[in-house]
Structure 1
Amino acid sequence: MTKLTLSLAIGDYDRARPLIDGRVQVDGVDLVPSVLSPEETFFRAFRHAEFDICELSFSSYTVKTSRDDCPYIAIPAYPSRAFRHTSLYVRKDRIKRPEDLKGKRIGLPEYQLTANVWGRAILADFGVMPSDVTWVRGGLEQPGRPEKIALNLPPEIKIEQAPADKSISQLLSEGDIDGILTPRMPSCNLTDPNVGWLFEDPTAAATEYYKRTGIFPIMHVVGVRKSLADAHPWLPGALFKGFQQAKALALDLLADTSATKVTLPFVEEQLVRAKELMGDDYWSYGIEPARPTLDAFLKHHHAQGLSSRLMAPEELFHPATHEAFSV
C-alpha cells in the first residue's frame, strides 16, 4: 500500500516528539511535521484548515462541532492537559478569595479559550458564575486580539473590549481590572507586588480539586481533516495508535531517572506524587478513562454559552477511536 503523506502541526511536547522525529511511525502514513505554538496552530487550523492533522483547542473544536461546521474530527489523544488554578491572577490588595470576584472586572485574551472554560468552572465551584463578572477582552501583552472564531453568547454574559492602546496585563497592573484569566503568566505578575495568583498554593488547590472530582482538565485534542477520515476510514484509528505509542515512549523515558530527561529538579518526586494521586495512567488517552473530565467540560462549556447544545463525549471523536482492541 502506498503511504499517505500528511502534514502534522503539533507542539514540541515529549509525548508528541516520537512522532515528530520518526521514532514512532503511524501505520500507512508518512508525516510531515511542523512544530508550532498552540496560538499559531489554532489560528491557521480554524481560519483556513491548513493542516491534515493538528493539535486543536478543545474549546474551539467543541464550539464548531456543536454547530456542525468543523473541518476536523478529533481522536481522543490529549497532547495538553493542565490544572488551571494557576491561570487566575488578581489584585492581591483587593481580592482575597474567589468569592470576592463577584461583580468585578476580569481580563482575558479570548472568552472561548479552553483554559478559560476551566478557569470559569473553578470559579463556579465558589459560586462565581460567568454572568457575575464583567469580562474585559484584549491582548495579554500586546493591545488587541480577536477571538479565533465568532461567538454567539447569551445576553447575560457581559464582555467589554480593552482600550485599543492597552494590554490586559497593563490594565491589571494599573488597577483598571481586578483579575486576569489566562493560560500564560502575565508579565505584571513578575513586576507588580500587588498582582499574584488567586490561589496562594495552586498545587494544593488543584490536588484537592482532583481528589474531589477526579477531573484532570483536557486543553487540546488532535484533529484529522474530515475529508481524509471519510476517504480513509482506517486513518483515525492508526493516528490514535501512533499517539498512544508516542506517549508511552515519553513516559518510559521520564521514568528512567538515571539521567533526568527534564531540565527541572525533583522530577522523580513529582512523578511518584502524580502516580500516588492519579494512578499509573495519570495522563490517560481515550474516552472512558477521561469521561469525568469530558462530561464536566461539556457541561461547563454549554453553561458558559459557548456550545449551542449540550454534547456527549462520543460526538466529539471519530467512531473508530471509541474502543480499542484487546489481546
Structure 2
Amino acid sequence: MRKVPLTVAVKDYDRTKAIFSGLAPIEGCDVVPLAVDAEECFHRAIKFQEFDVSELSLSSYMVTVSRGENAYIGIPAFVSRVFRHSGIYIRTDRGINKPEDLRGRTVGVPEYQITANVWIRGMLKDDFGIKPDEIHWRRGGIEQPGRDERSPIKLPPGIDLQQVPDDKTLSGMLENGEIDAMMTARTPSCFDQGVPNVGRLYPDFKTVEQDYFRRTGFFPIMHLIGIRKILVEQYPWLPVSVYKAFLAAKNIAIRELNDIGQLMATLPWAIDHYNETRRVMGEDFWPYGLKENLKTLEAFARYHHEQGLSVRKVAPEELFAPSTLDLSKI
C-alpha cells in the first residue's frame, strides 16, 4: 500500500524528537517533519490549515470546537504542559504582594485567549475568588507591537479589554510603569534584564506550583496535536497511527531522562530533578490520553466557558478523534 504523505509541524521538544529522527514512525505515512515554533504553528494552522498534523493551542482549538469551526481534530497527545504561577510579573513598587492585590489593577496580556492566561485566570478565581471583570486587561505584543487575537473572540459584558497603542510593547509598558502587572507564557525582557521594580508575583514559584499540583492534581495542558479533519475522513486509521507515534516519542524522552550513564539533557543534576518530579507527581508525570487527563481538561473547559471564550461548554471528549480515546496504555 502506498504510504500517505504527511506534513507534521511541531516544536522539536525532547518528547517529539523521535518523530523527527524516525525512531517513532507514524504507521502508514511518509512523514515530512517541520520544526516550527509553537506560535507560528498556531497561526499557520488555524488561519491557513497549512499542515496535515500540527501542534495546536488548547485554548484557540477549543474556541473553534465550541463554534463548530475546527478544521483539525485533536488527539490526546499533550506536547506542551507548564505550571503558570511563574508567568505573573508585577511592578514591585505598586503594593502587589499577594494575588488579591491584582483586583482593580491594569494587567497586560499578549492575547486574552492564550492557554496560559486561561489557566492563570482560572487559578485566580478558584483559589482567591478574583474574577476577570475585576481586572483591567491591556492586550499587545510582549516584545513587538501590534499583536492581536489569533482567533476572533467576543467577551462577556463587563470585561475591560483594550488594545495598547500600536507603538507600545507590554514589556516596555511594565518597565515604564504604564501597567501594573503582566500575565504571559514568555518571560518579558524587562524581567530578564533585571529592570528595577519588576519581579514575579511568586518568586518561589516552584514551591507554589508543587503545592498547587498536590491540591488539585492539575499539570496544566498548553498544547495538543491536531490532524486535518479532511484527512481523517479520507484515512480513518490516521488518528491512531499519529497518536501511537507521539506517545512512543514521549516515552523515549522519559526513558532518556533516567539515563545516568550519559546525560541527555545539558544539566549536571538533571537526574536529581527527574527523581524529585517523580516523587511529587508520580511515575507517569506527563500523561497522554483522555482518561488520565479528564479532570484537568474538565477544569480547563469550565474556565474557558466561564471566561467567555467558548460559546458553549465543551465536553473533553469532543476535542479528540473517538478512536484515540482509549489508547493511552499502548
Please report the TM-score for the alignment, with normalisation by the length of structure 1: 0.98
The aligned counterpart of 1:85 is: 85
Q: Distance in 1 between matches of 2:33 and 2:285?
A: 27
The answer to whether residue 26 in structure 2 is matched with residue 26 in structure 1 is yes
Q: Distance in 2 between matches of 1:147 and 1:72?
A: 19
Instruction: Provide the secondary structure at the position in 2 that maps to 1:285.
Output: coil
Cα deviations across residues 184-210 of structure 1 (Å, max 9, x unaligned)? 000111231211111121101101100
The aligned counterpart of 1:245 is: 248
The aligned counterpart of 1:236 is: 239
Cα deviations across residues 142-180 of structure 1 (Å, max 9, x unaligned)? 111121110011112110111111101111111111101
Q: Distance in 2 between matches of 1:160 and 1:318?
A: 37
The aligned counterpart of 2:63 is: 63
For residue 29 of structure 1, report the CA deviation from its aligned partner: 0.8
Instruction: Provide the secondary structure at the position in 2 that maps to 1:180.
Output: strand
The answer to whether residue 111 in structure 2 is matched with residue 110 in structure 1 is yes
The answer to whether residue 313 in structure 2 is matched with residue 280 in structure 1 is no
Q: Distance in 2 between matches of 1:212 and 1:325?
A: 24
Instruction: Provide the secondary structure at the position in 2 that maps to 1:191.
Output: coil
Query: Which letter maps to 2:164?
Result: A
Mean Cα displacement is larger for which, 290-299 or 256-265? 256-265
Q: Using a 3 Å threshold, how does the CA distance of structure 1 residues 325 and 158 change in structure 2: closer, same or farther?
A: closer
The aligned counterpart of 1:172 is: 174
Q: Distance in 2 between matches of 1:231 and 1:68?
A: 20
Q: Using a 3 Å threshold, how does the CA distance of structure 1 residues 33 and 326 change in structure 2: closer, same or farther?
A: closer
For residue 284 of structure 1, report the CA deviation from its aligned partner: 0.2
Q: Distance in 1 between matches of 2:243 and 2:328?
A: 12
| TM superposition outliers: structure 1 runs of 4+ over 3 Å | none
The aligned counterpart of 1:259 is: 262
For residue 264 of structure 1, report the CA deviation from its aligned partner: 2.1
Q: Distance in 2 between matches of 1:122 and 1:88?
A: 12
Instruction: Provide the secondary structure at the position in 1 that maps to 2:222.
Output: strand
The aligned counterpart of 2:99 is: 98
Instruction: Provide the secondary structure at the position in 1 that maps to 2:113.
Output: coil
Q: How does 1:94-173 map to 2 (within 5 A)?
A: 94=94, 95-124=96-125, 125-173=127-175
The answer to whether residue 271 in structure 2 is matched with residue 268 in structure 1 is yes
Q: Distance in 1 between matches of 2:270 and 2:298?
A: 31
Instruction: Provide the secondary structure at the position in 2 that maps to 1:292.
Output: helix
Mean Cα displacement is larger for which, 258-267 or 148-157? 258-267
Cα deviations across residues 217-271 of structure 1 (Å, max 9, x unaligned)? 0000000000111111110011111111111111111110212111123211111
Cα deviations across residues 264-288 of structure 1 (Å, max 9, x unaligned)? 2321111111111111110000001
Mean Cα displacement is larger for which, 119-128 or 215-224? 119-128
The aligned counterpart of 1:298 is: 301
Query: Which letter maps to 1:283?
Result: W
Q: What RMSD in Å do the two structures reach over aligned CA positions? A: 1.1
For residue 292 of structure 1, report the CA deviation from its aligned partner: 1.5
Please report the TM-score for the alignment, with normalisation by the length of structure 2: 0.97
Q: Percent identity?
A: 46
Q: Distance in 2 between matches of 1:325 and 1:33?
A: 23
For residue 324 of structure 1, report the CA deviation from its aligned partner: 2.1
Q: Distance in 2 between matches of 1:307 and 1:300?
A: 9
For residue 39 of structure 1, report the CA deviation from its aligned partner: 1.1
Structure 2 residue runs without a partner (length 5+)? none
Structure 1 residue runs without a partner (length 5+)? none
For residue 322 of structure 1, report the CA deviation from its aligned partner: 0.8
